Amino acid sequence: MNKNKQNIRIGILGVNGRMGRILVQACIHAGRNITVAIGRIGSACIGKSLADFLNLESTDHHLFNVMINDDLSAVIQDCDVVIDFTTAEALATHITICHQAKKPIIIGITGLSEQLTEKIKIAAQEIAIVHSGNYSIGVNLSVDLVRIAAQLLSQNEYAQAFEAEIIEAHHRHKIDAPSGTALMYADAIAQARQQQFADIAIYQRHGAVGERHHQSIGLQAIRGGDIVGEHSVFFFGNDEQIEIKHVANNRMNFAVGAVRAATWVSNQPCGLYDMNDVIKN
């Protein structure tokens, strides 16, 4: 399959969601062709055209011909790649449908179980999948910054005293914690130190927790209001501290990255990719 990127037919799953709506806007801005739109069964958006749903004014827009459906299996052949920012529960079904139809999928959903992660790996033996906890270009590049910082600090005798802590903040509706992005930063630190992240992660502190273990990586999640996503990675030393910080001002940066991934993956062989593969190839 060698497709002209302008002609790729994209399916957006969860068009009624915060990310779903922005993904449609990102496709329009990038001149990408949306041919499939999926909402939740029972949602008020089902049966409407995507253009009516979005209140587009120009009546000749092709999105007036894209009707929002609640059954991906019925329309999967009308698209070349799907982008899924729905829920973990919905993803379990979407993966099966994409696997059977041999369609690539971009997965943005966070907070996946081990079982679902395994299902993704199995499907990736036969279809191309991009799976990332964060599709922002800035976040993915800053994960490299964190990795380099952790490497440099662990190689220096004085700097080995620095201790890593991650604080993330998101809006009140986010249902998983810590964020997929915080886990990406933590994993990069653990890899740089040649540690297993699961062995050294500290997810919360409460009560008589004792002194901090030098090698642990602390992850704290705060929730409230309409915060899109903020991450601070700290390396605390004696008398000084280093902070690497990323702030998402809005959701468009995630959507632009996911649309870029959809364009990229449509020419890739089967396999499991992440946003680094998209950015660096």
Ligand X SMILES: NC(=O)c1ccc[n+]([C@@H]2O[C@H](COP(=O)([O-])OP(=O)(O)OC[C@H]3O[C@@H](n4cnc5c(N)ncnc54)[C@H](OP(=O)(O)O)[C@@H]3O)[C@@H](O)[C@H]2O)c1
- Binding-site ranges for ligand X (CB under 6 A): 13-14, 16-20, 38-40, 43, 85-87, 90, 108-111, 132-135, 180, 254
CB of 16 to ligand X, least distance (A): 4
Catalytically active residues are 170, 174
Is 14 labelled a binding residue?
yes
- 67: its two tokens: 């009707």
C-alpha Rg value of the chain to the nearest Å: 20
199/177 Cα distance (integer angstroms): 18
Is 273 labelled a binding residue?
no
Is 147 labelled a binding residue?
no
Continuous segment of H or E residues that includes residue 151: helix 137-155
Is 67 labelled a binding residue?
no
Give the bridge partners for 10, in sequence order.
34, 81
Alpha carbon 173 to chain centroid distance? 16
Q: Which residue's C-beta sits nearest to ligand X?
A: 17
CB neighbourhood size of 125 (10 A): 11
CB of 43 to ligand X, least distance (A): 4
Pair 275, 130: CB distance under 8 Å? yes
CB of 242 to ligand X, least distance (A): 25
Continuous segment of H or E residues that includes residue 102: none
> Which of 17, 271 has the CB closer to ligand X?
17
Phi, psi of 217 (to 5 degrees): -120, 120
CB of 134 to ligand X, least distance (A): 4
Residues contributing to the annotated binding site: 14-19, 57, 108-110, 132-135, 171, 180-181
Residues contributing to the annotated binding site for NAD(+): 14-19, 57, 108-110, 132-135
Residues contributing to the annotated binding site for (S)-2,3,4,5-tetrahydrodipicolinate: 171, 180-181
